[in-house]
Each structure stands twice: as structure tokens, then as C-alpha cells.
Structure 1
């Protein structure tokens, strides 16, 4: 019987990669990088062999999708922000067995889902950025699940999270699950992009994010799930916040009683709200 060892909501801002490079932004995201390394340390202590990432940079227009290929290798440049991420090398092993098991259990819940073994289906930076800091030695196998869902219901994403847990229970191993995406995501308008490199685009989003974070710390999950659709719409949630719905499905939905542990404090990046937070497992 498998074990779910860790669940977290994490940032993947591309300025983390920029933070490594010489220049005016060197070190600007060190706290976020340190948060990723702390999550990696915990995964290693817990004996995790596979990390599942709900990736809000994998855009899909129909169905839910799992990248279940057995090996990922390449050099990545962001088409969205090539001035932030370019020529980033990566190499990770996949976990086709667990990916297919997730698809099996999700299908049993009448979720339209596809598990892919396609060599040319590459990873997006919602997976690649955190794996750069958590998995540089290829310690963990990687599964990426699409979480930028343009025509999907948040309730289905929550049920997909439940299916992930059922698959893990059948799997012979130990797994961590990461929801890779922001809180609010009103990306900075181009004419204020430089100004908002370390700030929010709108005060409304900043205040909403702080309130949501307080709810997470207090364990008000029933209330948060109730407001999630409106929060996502009104604060431009990244990928529709399907990663967050999936994560909540993993930890128990409205029945979850844990209180979020903040690993990296809430910070603004290019107008958006970011953090690293572990959701303690019951």
C-alpha cells in the first residue's frame, strides 16, 4: 500500500531562475528557492520516490491530461517570458505506472482524462522550475498533470485530486503532491512591468490574498472552497486555480482540518501573489 507523504501549494515564478543569474535581480527570489529546497529536504526525509505536480502552465482545452512518459530531458526556453527563462537544461525520470493508475481511478469518477506516453510531450515550467530546486539530482520521479484548464469545472479538479489519493493507495511507494501556481494572478500590465516586479498589480488582489492566507492558517477550508470559484475569477487565479482545487481534493476537501504551514511568506512577483505552503496531512 502506497503512502501520500507531503502536500503543498508552491510558487514557480520564472524570476526564481533569473534570481540565479548575475545582474540587478541576482538573489531576488532566494526565499522562494530556499522554500523549494526545504520541501525537497522533507520529501527526502519522508522517503518520497515520486513527485506529482499539478502544473498551471500546462494549458489544456479539453479533458484532463497526465504526462506519464518515463524520461524527460531537454533544454527549455519560455516562449512566454524568454527574457526570464532561457536555455534551462533538465533531466528527470517519470513514473508511467503511477500516471496510468491515476487515470484509471479518475476515469472511474467519470472524469475525462488521458495518460500520455509521448516522447515529444515536454514538461512546462510550472513543473520545471520547482524540479530545478527540489530535484536537481534526479532523486524523485516526476509526473505532471495539466492544471491550466480552460473549459473545466473546479469540482472535477477536486475529484481528480481524490483519484490521485486512491491511485497512491494502490501504488507501492511514497508520493508527494505539489500544486504549482500562484494565488491572485493579475499579471502586471506591460507599462508597469518593471514597477511591479516585486509588487501587486492591484491592491484588491493583495488584500484578498492576505485574507485567503489567513483562512488557510486558520483551517477554514469549507469557507475557502465555497469562495474559490469567485476568488479565482475576480483575482484572475492562475490556470483557473485548478491546481488548488486538485490539491484540496488530495487532502480531503471540505473535511480537511489541517492548518497551512507557511514555508515561504506571501510575496508579490510581476503583479501576482506567491508563496510556498505545506498542507499537513491528516
Structure 2
């Protein structure tokens, strides 16, 4: 077994609580609710999530704690996300193996094992929708500002090799937006030019043209202000390959950002028995 499903997921603050979701973002949640059913059917043994809101400076971090438990109030928007409790199991063995493999590949990776560490909302919000029932171990991963896109993609390749070797059936969540030059006013779309860039990247994705996605990403990330500098997308390119069938689910705005929901299902013929 390996990564059975990849999910490019949204984490916009206004979807944290169902009662606060604006109409133009309802489709994001509708699709994530459906993906949750798909994940339940897969019955994974591990969930990995990389979040554009766990931004580390120099090192890539892996949360290796055996239990993830806390109460989140988002410092960026405490009026929207506050007092949100979460509790998930971890997988210390696989998480530590990711750290070891990263170091062996000469990538600066550091383990975090601290019960006082509180997850960011880019981690918590998608899991509230994608993992509402299943008691599945979760490994949380940061993006590193000092890491370029190539290094982040290579780190993704290392992570996938660890998952493959573990034999654990895994779902990998890439939590972040596409265009992300933010403006005030949640209803605002990205600019026409930014939407065109989002569309082109999505088109390459649907064509499984990974080389064009990789070639486009640096300039796209710079011009459209892709969230996290596009690092969650770079890691995605290290995790998925041509064996995965993409399925575009939804696209919605949030304060000038473009938020897409796309799944990547490993085709049955590509799954090793």
C-alpha cells in the first residue's frame, strides 16, 4: 500500500464553523464532505497533512507526537476561529522515520514532540471536514520559508518513499490556496490575471502534465502570490505521479484568494497488491 488518495484542500477561516459559511463557499464544504465519505471507504491507516499555515523559518518540521490535542484560537483571526478543540492520534514511528529519511537525504528536517504545541488552522479546519468520524493517526508537516520549491518537492519524494516502505494505506492532504494576493472583502475573487493562472495550473493538473506544473510553479507562485509560495503544491508534486487520476471538485474565492478542491486517486491498476 501507499498514498491511496491525495487531496488539495481549502482552509479558509469562514468555513471553520458550518453556521458561518458564506453561500459562495458552500461548494467547498459540500465537496469536502463527499471526500470524507471517500476517505471513510478507503479506511486509511494514516493521514498526512501539510499546511501553509505551519510556516517554519529554516527547517522542515514533522509533528512526531503520539497524540495531538489542543484548543485552537487563530492569532490571525481570533474573531472567526476561537476555542476550537481538536484531538487526533499521531504515528510516532512513521513520523520519526520521515525525519530520519529527510536527514539522510541532507534535507534540514526536525522532529517536534511537544504536548503544548497547538496546531494551526490550516491543519485543523480541513480535518474537521475530511476526518469527522475516523480515528486515524495524523502526521502534521510544516512548510519551510528557507526551502525552495525544488527542495520541498524532493522532501515530498522522501516522505512518499517512507510511506511506501511502511506499507500503510495513506491519505495525504495539501492544505492551501492557489492565488493568494489577499484583499479586504471575503467575496472578492482573485484578479482576472490570477484566475487565468489558476485555471492554467488546474488544466495542467487535469492533464496529468506534471512537468508543466513543475515548470510553471515558480513564476506562477510569484505572480499570483500562491499561498505558502506554492510549497504545498511543490510537496504535492513530490507525492503524486502519473498513476494518480485527478478530479477537480470546486473553486471559490476568499478575500482575493482562489481556493480549489482537487483529489488525486491512485488508479487500481497502479496499486500493488
TM beyond 0.5: yes
Q: Distance in 2 between matches of 1:168 and 1:81?
A: 34
The Cα of 1:107 is off from its aligned counterpart by 1.8
The Cα of 1:108 is off from its aligned counterpart by 2.1
What residue in structure 1 maps to residue 70 of structure 2? 74
The CA deviation string for residues 39-81 of structure 1, in whole angstroms up to 9 with x for no partner, is: 2222221120211001110011111110111112222111101
Cα gap change, 1:76 to 1:138, in 2 (>3 Å): farther
Cα gap change, 1:16 to 1:175, in 2 (>3 Å): same
Identify the match of residue 246 of structure 2 among 260, 263, 266.
260
Structure 2 gap segments, 5+ residues each: none
The Cα of 1:198 is off from its aligned counterpart by 2.4
* 1:52 match: secondary structure: strand
How many pairs are equivalent? 267
The Cα of 1:145 is off from its aligned counterpart by 0.4
* 2:265 match: secondary structure: coil
Aligned: 1:177 with 2:172: yes
Identify the match of residue 101 of structure 1 among 71, 83, 97.
97
Cα gap change, 1:215 to 1:26, in 2 (>3 Å): closer
What residue in structure 2 maps to residue 271 of structure 1? 256
Q: Which stretch of the first structure deviates more once superposed, 88-97 or 34-43?
A: 34-43
Q: Distance in 2 between matches of 1:270 and 1:145?
A: 25
What residue in structure 1 maps to residue 214 of structure 2? 225
What residue in structure 2 maps to residue 210 of structure 1? 199
Q: Which stretch of the first structure deviates more once superposed, 33-42 or 219-228?
A: 33-42
Aligned: 1:30 with 2:15: no
Aligned-residue RMSD, C-alpha: 1.8
The runs of at least 4 aligned residues of structure 1 exceeding 3 Å deviation read 25-28
What aligned pairs does 1:1-282 form with structure 2 within 5 A after superposition?
Answer: 2-18=1-17, 20-21=18-19, 25=21, 28-147=24-143, 149-188=144-183, 193-194=184-185, 197-252=186-241, 256=242, 258-263=244-249, 265-281=250-266, 282=270
Give the structure-2-normalised TM-score: 0.91
Give the structure-1-normalised TM-score: 0.89
